Amino acid sequence: MVEFSSDVEPTKGLSANGLTDADGAFTLQTRFAGATLPGAVAGTHRVVVIPPPAASGDATEILPVPIRYADYLQSGLTAEVTASGPNAFAFDLKP
């Protein structure tokens, strides 16, 4: 799952997320006031990539995404979403 968290007022902290497909492509949705809206709000966002849970339940299983990318403070990933688009992002998730 990829999650964007707005880093600008007045939407700071509002998040949008989407599941990745087998190729890593994703489409974001924002949940706000009981509604699901397509995309993310315009502005600068901090980004995390959350790996799926270990299939075996084994804590030593190797995850497809390094765990540091699941933490906003450690991921180092950002994105600038524009109202006019297009908004296509590719993140290089280095081990």
User: Over the stretch 37-46, which tens digit does the pLDDT of each residue have?
Assistant: 999 999 999 9
Q: How distant, in Å, are the alpha carbons of 12, 21, 57 from that of 38? A: 18, 17, 33
| Ranges under pLDDT 70 in the chain | 54-62
Q: Is the peptide bond before 10 cis (omega within 30 degrees of 0)?
A: yes
Residue 84: its pLDDT value, please? 93
How is residue 21 written in tokens? 């497909």
Residue 15: its pLDDT value, please? 97
Is there a contact between 16 and 2 (Cβ–Cβ < 8 Å)?
Answer: no
Q: How distant, in Å, are the alpha carbons of 30, 65, 82 from that of 74? A: 23, 13, 24
Residue 18: its pLDDT value, please? 97
Report d(CA 20, CA 90) in Å as an integer.
12
